[in-house]
Structure 1
């Protein structure tokens, strides 16, 4: 008996006085894994330059490597597209996921994320695709169905909606169409078309008579406003002629990045002069470039990283039904439970 105890003690001393710690198996529900996934996805969304903010649905698979003072996670996460455009720069937790009646988009991201004192996204690659139209119709026969963005009726719809918005908003300059991001159709009293698009401020002032909006150049300064718009118009079709009825529009305008940077510069006191009013706020209905203070770069500040430099998002066509089988996770206790259930029984995502 004493011989066995002596041998165990000898082995402990041989390995430095204490047993070598064993790294526990990684699972998809561990707190550090969830922290890496949630904060890493925030950084992925911050890196995107187009499309919509992605929401975390679940961690599907994970592996890890331990380095000096940090753990490098290789995560596969399932994502769902939200209703927030990337120009909003909203955190994904504050964005509503697109539901069945919004043409849902799903996919996954493979991301390398370092976790130590902070979480740092190293690289990522995402692939997303729309849920097939047949699945939507089977689940919700009355829901809108996808329309191709190059359909002439979509361009007409977007222009009608933009015309109404230019008439109703109180900003001094006209906006022009930047990019159509989505379109769908639903039969009401006639075909109703729903369009999502982004717009950008132009140099044309509304108080200028007889403005031809097609000739208005986009404002290319850092203080130009952008907005994300949703709208629709319904056509009454009685079999003899078509009458365009209700046009609805809703736009969310976002503060220009240049204006945000200028406000931050004033707060830091980097402007090099004192404001006459210390409580001065930049409430930008719009200021032209010459009305802003251009601050020289601070030599103590690091240059900002270019957006889109850490990875890519690949948009794939809708898959066939049923979708091809997916490889099983390699890690134990994976995948994690889904956060969102869209109720697509034939098409679990």
Structure 2
């Protein structure tokens, strides 16, 4: 009898040991919490560092956040961020806090959903995935406030490419660079009527193999230098055709960037990565996919130039890099900029993200390399079920024994009454276009936001 009792107690003890450890439920901190603000900053830094085209994204406000503390150390943050394009091109490698916001009539705004793992004891900051969709504000939103502001145009129109070529010719003639530069891609375009039509462009440039000592009739025929040797840059050009004195006025300013060595893992082609060489049929709606690690440590430095074309060379600071664990998966994500629309647009009306080629045509499913769509959990994910599914080889938590547990991105009502956070700056145009969550009372003393 005593033996049976001992066997029973032993089996109960073994069962208790075999039970899963307590599940750590996700938290809903305030959007103005200092840890959340820091996580949003780090997420945007890594999103911007992953880009090879487009402009540095800046934070407008934190819309929502969930924090999932890990069983040992660290937390996974699920951030929904309202963002805007800044004046800095991603080639500059500037931090978003060091970039100027665009004029209100030039605003391109949208939302990013980012999953970020932070482990302070192990000095790990890892962006697991991100999805960003942006769109320019419609002309109808700012013409009532600024009827004389330049009207956005399509960068692929021949007139704007001509504006870039004419203004770059002035730069090539007057700069002290060793080689000629050619137009890489027209990124912004607008038009205004003053004493005649004025066309404004922003465009990227690349260094060619043609020496400044050579007389070149058509710079576009020059072979570009390899990416390891070529300087790149961002230029702002204006061509005004005066109908009063029938004279053409050209102005140009360029910022030149040092050659950028390939990031770790970029020496091989990765699915979805676009070449820096532009396509002539480049559509204004575009998407950037990234499946790579972070850049090597680099340090900022400036070079002085004798010529009046002021420009700056800069590399990322070592503080932007973080320790990378072999258990962490490579960052997967994209930034999509939709073409401008005539009708009123808001974050409520931004369409579901659809993968597109550079020419705007849909990508077949096998070529899109999409981020796996998380199931709609309508709120906080069922952590215990996800752990069970993973043990059976089903989708769920990602490597809980060695890496952070990644849940499906939370959807549905927000759990924190202190979200969204306060805007970081004033922009009277986009504020009405952003979601305005409604507070719904669920019980005395409690509210949720949706």
> Residue 78 of structure 1: CA displacement?
0.5
TM-score by length of 1: 0.75
2:86 maps to which of 68, 79, 82: 82
Q: Give 1:28's aligned residue.
A: 31
TM-score by length of 2: 0.59
The number of residues matched between the two structures is: 291
> Residue 283 of structure 1: CA displacement?
6.5
> Residue 315 of structure 1: CA displacement?
1.4
Q: Give 2:66's aligned residue.
A: 63
Tell me if 1:313 matches 2:305: no
Residues 109, 126 of structure 1: 8 Å contact kept: yes
Distance in 1 (CA, whole Å) between partners of 2:28 and 2:237 is 50
Mapping of residues 1-349 of structure 1, within 5 Å? 25-67=28-70, 68-101=72-105, 103-117=106-120, 118-237=124-243, 243-258=246-261, 310-318=332-340, 320-321=343-344, 323=346, 325=348, 329-344=414-429, 347-349=432-434
Change (3 A) 1:108 1:141: same
SS of aligned partner of 1:220: coil
Greater share of residues in strand: 1
Structure 1 stretches of at least 4 aligned residues deviating more than 6 Å after TM superposition: 20-24, 281-285
Residues 322, 347 of structure 1: 8 Å contact kept: no
SS of aligned partner of 1:237: coil
Change (3 A) 1:79 1:119: same
Residues 322, 346 of structure 1: 8 Å contact kept: no
> Residue 244 of structure 1: CA displacement?
4.2
Greater share of residues in helix: 1
> Residue 237 of structure 1: CA displacement?
2.5
SS of aligned partner of 2:144: helix
> Residue 148 of structure 1: CA displacement?
1.2
Change (3 A) 1:284 1:220: farther
> Residue 111 of structure 1: CA displacement?
0.3
Residues 100, 140 of structure 1: 8 Å contact kept: no
Structure 1: which 5+ runs fail to align?
Answer: 1-19, 268-280, 286-300, 303-307
Distance in 1 (CA, whole Å) between partners of 2:346 and 2:31 is 23
> Residue 343 of structure 1: CA displacement?
2.1
Structure 2: which 5+ runs fail to align?
Answer: 1-22, 265-295, 306-322, 325-329, 350-411, 435-450
Distance in 1 (CA, whole Å) between partners of 2:110 and 2:130 is 13
Change (3 A) 1:347 1:192: farther
Change (3 A) 1:325 1:206: closer
Superposed CA RMSD in Å reads 3.3
> Residue 83 of structure 1: CA displacement?
0.3
SS of aligned partner of 1:139: coil
Higher relative contact order (CA 8 A, sep 6+): 1
